[in-house]
Amino acid sequence: MADEALTAGQYIKHHLQNMTYGQHADGTWGLAHTVEEAKEMGFMSINVDTMFWSILLGVMFLWIFRRAAKNASVETPSGLQNFIEMVIEFIDGSVKGGFNGRNAIVAPMALTIFVWVFLINFMDLIPVDWLPGTMAWISSTFFGADPHHVYFKVVPSTDPNATFGMALAVFMMTMYYSVKIKGLKGFVGELTLHPFSSSNKLLQLVFIPINFMLEFVALIAKPLSLSLRLYGNMFAGEMIFILIAIMYGGGWALGIFGGFLQLGWAIFHILIITLQAYIFMTLTIVYMDLAYQVPDEH
């Protein structure tokens, strides 16, 4: 339930602020107590809540799959084993359908991306006040902190730092394999000799900067689209949940209406979080496939 001590605007800003650790203006290091302090910490700060939930959910993913693998049985497979096998077969089919090269890392990477992003997105289905409220209570009860200055976001994909970090990791891997498969000369040629080309050497020199500008924009657009698509969809979904939560403070009639809205949006949001994980995984497979595509002239 929305905290009645906060206005609607303050409530929204509070829930959209990360728990940020960095250097204060006086040179000391610690957690930011206000939104302004978090902004002043700059680039070298770290969003503790994003890192905490990302790592925790990553470890949970590894633990669940390891447990299913250790207890796997051909004669009497458990429900967990059947579910894991179904997910793996789905990922394997997606990789076979979208990646034409030969690389043993692509399928495990696609599986990791899909499951990890899904788990991160799934945190959006937890009521917006439960975990932040618990953290505020712990901080105020045991550490004497002002609960209004305790920030604790639980959906890492609503933090652009997380989505950009994942997209940059995929981008760097595609760059590595592009150079490895095509060679440095082939990779540079891909950026400078297409889409415009000519047998006339002088005219080709004119085309090179034009081609590079076009291809460079397309190249940079890959990590940007990958990260912003996930961030934008999840941020919008989180915002809707926050706005619905504010309705609970508007009386019992508005609260009941908000409850139905929350249930309906949560059911619909299950599709969104799954779809976003699938899109992130599919685009990663496509980008890796593009890195392995070598034109005939290369």
Q: Which residue has the tokens 């889409």?
A: 195
**Cβ 2 vs Cβ 119: under 8 Å:** no
Instruction: Write b or e for each residue in 140-163: b if 16 or more Cβ atoms lie within 10 A of its Cβ, otherwise e.
Output: eeeeebebbbbbbbbbbbbbbbbb
Peptide bond connecting 132 to the previous residue in cis, omega within 30 degrees of 0: no
Q: What are phi and psi of 132, to 5 degrees?
A: -60, -40
> Which of 123, 126, 129 minimizes the C-alpha distance to 249?
129
Just list the catalytic residues. 225, 229, 233
Cα separation, 115 vs 124, in Å, equals 15
Cite the beta strand spans of the chain per DSSP E: 20-23, 29-31, 46-47
- d(CA 292, CA 187) in angstroms, rounded, equals 11
